[in-house]
Amino acid sequence: MTDAKGLRQVGYFDCPGGGQIVVEDGVAYIGHMEAPAGTTTVDVRDPANPKQIAHLAMPDRTHSHKVRVGGDLMVTNREALPFQKGHPEGFKGGLGIWDNARRGHPKLITVWETEGMGVHRFDFDGRYAYISPTVDGYLGNIVMILDLKNPERPEEVGRWWLPGQWTAGGEEPTWKGAAHRCHHPLRRGDRLYTSYWHGGFVILDIEDMSKPKMISHLDWSPPFPWPTHTTLPLPYRLQGRDIMLVADEDVLRTHKSYPSFLWLVDITDEAHPMPFSSFQIDAVDGSEQPEFTGCHQPSEKVDGTEIPVAWFAHGLRIVDIAKPHAPKEIAHFMPEPQPGCDRVQSNDVTFDERGLIYLLDRLRGMVILERV
């Protein structure tokens, strides 16, 4: 029996596992984890009966697990699978730029290519894409801003990297491998709030997009063992303060520890970000747990103090941050593992203008929920 409090399932769409779900104008856009599945568009106007509109494929040993829409464009990432060796012959990672004027019926405009693995997660505002590409001469993913004013010819506007990444320029990293790399930037105003994996996070000033400038950098790994996945600034103030939610991803732990959790960080003084509270689910009891158990991703769409969070093996958690020093869970939904899956792997979550919540599993399926 499904474990739920304050949430009710109203629909389900069976599909290969996904990395990101975006919903706009009655259409859900799903980026899948693994080829041959690339991107699926789904008509969700009737949430009890979601229907596939289109499906885009990807070559073997790649994925297109992230997707954004803005204006009449859809943008998808193209990346060699991180956990498989070797690239398909002739494959270059980057971005797929699609004409989405007919909602949910994308037509390819062009592919923007880069070297190495490709692009991981990214943000898109309808004009500019804030991306995390691998680039020749740099160790791991960096920050890049692309102008899609002419979607047939995306143009680089600016780039930024953590000192030590530009090995072709003679820089020497103080870390091992590509552990310090851009996961993805999120824009608010003239700032980019950028997760940097085992390098923590940075806040960048992009008033001049051609020359991003670092305002601050906070790295808490170590002592904490998980990589930083998402840095989400709130679009409102809490108790007169500017607050950012930071989600560490429960993978690639540097040492044995608890599953990862959600942080609240005071960024009122953005040059000195201050973590001041956190949220962890009640089920954590100190026993050893496998990776992909703890926190993964809050909804990057925010319209109040109730934050939906995809919590890997613990499904969906709705966290109320109205009292930011004491965030608390007020609702949850724990799906049943789907056929062929050993456990739940809730990977991403968003909601639409009706308040319906869309929970995407990393292994299989999308659940549509409503608050009750």
Q: Please tell me the predicted confidence (pLDDT) of residue 88.
A: 77
Cα dihedral 12→16→17→22 (10° resolution) = -60
Rounded distance, CA 260 to CA 257, Å? 9
* pTM score above 0.85: yes
Q: Please tell me the predicted confidence (pLDDT) of residue 86.
A: 64
Taking 3-state DSSP, the helix, strand and coil percentages for the chain, each rounded to the nearest 5, stand at: 0, 50, 50
Profile the chain (372 residues) by mean pLDDT over runs of 10 residues.
91 98 98 96 98 96 96 97 71 96 97 95 98 97 98 98 97 94 97 98 98 98 96 97 98 92 98 98 92 97 97 98 98 95 97 98 98 96
Q: Please tell me the predicted confidence (pLDDT) of residue 251.
A: 95
Host H or E run for residue 360: strand 357-361
Rounded distance, CA 193 to CA 115, Å? 24
Contacts of 170 (CB under 8 A, 6+ apart): none
Contact 365, 344 (CB under 8 A): no
- φ, ψ at 108 (rounded to 5°): -65, 130
Q: Which of 121, 118, 117, 161 is closest to 138 using CA atoms?
A: 161
Rounded distance, CA 278 to CA 284, Å? 14
Rounded distance, CA 312 to CA 295, Å? 6
Sorted by where each begins, the domain ranges of the chain are: 3-371
Contacts of 82 (CB under 8 A, 6+ apart): 117
- CATH code assigned to 3-371: 2.130.10.10
Q: Report, in angstroms and rounded to the nearest whole number, the Rg of the chain calculated over CA atoms.
A: 19
